[in-house]
Amino acid sequence: MPGDGEFIAMPPKNRPRPNATTMKMVGKQVAGARLAKNLTQKQLADLIKVDEETVGSIEQGRRTLMPHIAELLDFHLGLPGTLTVAANEMPAVDVIPPWAQEYMELEKRAIALSWYDNQVVPGLLQPECYARAVFACRVPAYREEKIEALTADRLDRQKILRRTTPPTLSFVIWEPVVRQRIGGPEVYRELLRHLIACMELPDMSVQVLPLDQPVHAALDGPFTLLETHNHQHVGYTEGQRGSHLVSDQDEVSILARKYAMLRTQALNTQQTRGLLDRLLGEL
């Protein structure tokens, strides 16, 4: 999940990507097909429901063409799946999986996020010491400078919590996650304090799914649901060695129903606060 993924900063603009030539070639195909339909970048952006800047970046080879965007482009530009094939066969551009890169860009401007995690505390709720401890658990081990860079990037993502208009945020966390003392007693104490403080933020809901709950709507693992600024709904899942952005609305609907059920199975926010207070008092 985004809480535990190995996310790092986007590469500097003056640093070429390993497949920059391929990205530019695909971008030229998009631009050529658009012009053949007598569409402006803004008109095409409106059709596929993205920003005009996104279309421009794809055409200039500065932004990876994601498969779900490629499918929309093929449809509106009357192409026989050409761009979809190109997007799916695109070699990796850097150490960030393309789906994870797309997720992080969506997360920055999201108006709502619903997040279930059963491995670690969601990344947006991690204090610095806990984030560093999570990255230090990685096998094979990271070098210290890598851990510091990843921790800084994770904290940078948390800026959305304090936007002028913050997103509506809901988190459901399995109880073992808030009981496991990753990093040791002091890190654990800071984690509990931080979670309690986060619960005071506007438009924030944190719930714990208790161990004694006899039913569990998300045994398949963690996931995130996101609503974009233009009201698109997407899902995101991440496993040991890969990630997936879910754009098919039938699949997104399944995740949304899972999350709705999880919220009914979890402790409410007052009960969750009581659990966190008790855990902190036991230290």
pLDDT of 235 reads 93
Digit-coded pLDDT (tens) for 69-117 = 989 999 999 988 888 888 887 655 434 455 566 788 889 889 999 999 9
Q: Tell me the torsion sign for CA atoms 98, 102, 105, 108.
A: negative
Question: What's the longest Cα–Cα distance across the chain?
Answer: 68
Among the listed ranges 21-35, 150-164, 171-185, which one has the minimum average pLDDT value? 21-35
Q: What is the mean pLDDT of the chain?
A: 87
Confidence of residue 208 (pLDDT cuts 50, 70, 90): very high
Please give the model's pTM, rounded to 2 decimal places: 0.68
Q: pLDDT tens for residues 37-47?
A: 899 999 999 99
Among residues 31, 81, 88, 83, which one has the least CA distance to residue 61?
31
Helix (H) or strand (E) holding 175: helix 175-179
**Which of helix, strand or coil describes residue 279?**
helix
Per the CB < 8 A criterion, the answer to whether 257 and 265 are in contact is no
Q: For a pLDDT cut of 70, what percent of the chain falls above it?
A: 88
pLDDT score, position 230: 86
The pLDDT value given to residue 262 = 98
Residue linked to tokens 């947006």? 124
Q: What is the mean pLDDT of residues 143-160?
A: 93
Residue % of the chain over a pLDDT of 90 = 60
Task: Give the pLDDT confidence of 23-65 residue by residue, as tens digits.
Answer: 888 888 898 999 998 999 999 999 999 888 889 888 888 888 8
Tokens coding 23: 């990205």
List CB contacts of 84: < 8 A, sequence separation 6 or more: 67, 70, 71, 74
Average pLDDT over residues 208-234: 94
Span 153-182, average pLDDT: 94
Contact present, 181 and 120 (Cβ < 8 Å):
no
Tokens coding 157: 């993502």
Of the pLDDT bands very low, low, confident and very high (cuts 50, 70, 90), residue 226 is: very high
Question: Rounded to 5 degrees, what are φ and ψ at 235?
Answer: -120, 165
